[in-house]
Amino acid sequence: MGNQQSPDSSRLEEENKALALRYHNELFQKGQLEVADEILSPDFIIHNPVLPEAVRNGPEGTKKYAAAIIEAVPDRKLEHHDIIAKGDKVLIRWTNSGTNKAPLFGNPPTSKAYIATGFDLFRISNGRIMELWQQYNFASWP
């Protein structure tokens, strides 16, 4: 019985999963940039040194990040394979695909399809996403 969760911790982990999914689905897939103000802490940070500094901090940075992706990859598709929650953390394993139609962070458009796979690890506190650690790999980049 030592491994069983309380109903409260199980409920909180389900709420945290839903919040992490909103980050992917509403911000990056649907382009609802205003959602960043609802779900992200003012001090939110993305731990991903590949991204420009201007898009790694706070809801405003995330809006810039999402807007850049939306413009560069209008046919983007984000598929979730695993979603795991434990305590204040949620891990999502994903595949992203689409066609690079516009410049993205200084890289010219290729008009070719790509596939990227990755993991996002979210830390959530008091109903807000506080931090995101992001690792990805391009299975194909044009």
The beta strands (E) that lie in 11-67 are given as 40-47
For residue range 40-83, what is the model confidence (pLDDT) as tens digits?
Answer: 999 999 999 889 999 999 999 999 999 999 999 999 999 999 99
Q: What confidence tier does 5 reach under pLDDT thresholds 50, 70, 90? A: low
Closest alpha carbon to 78 in 30, 29, 139: 29
What six digits make up the tokens of 65? 């990040």
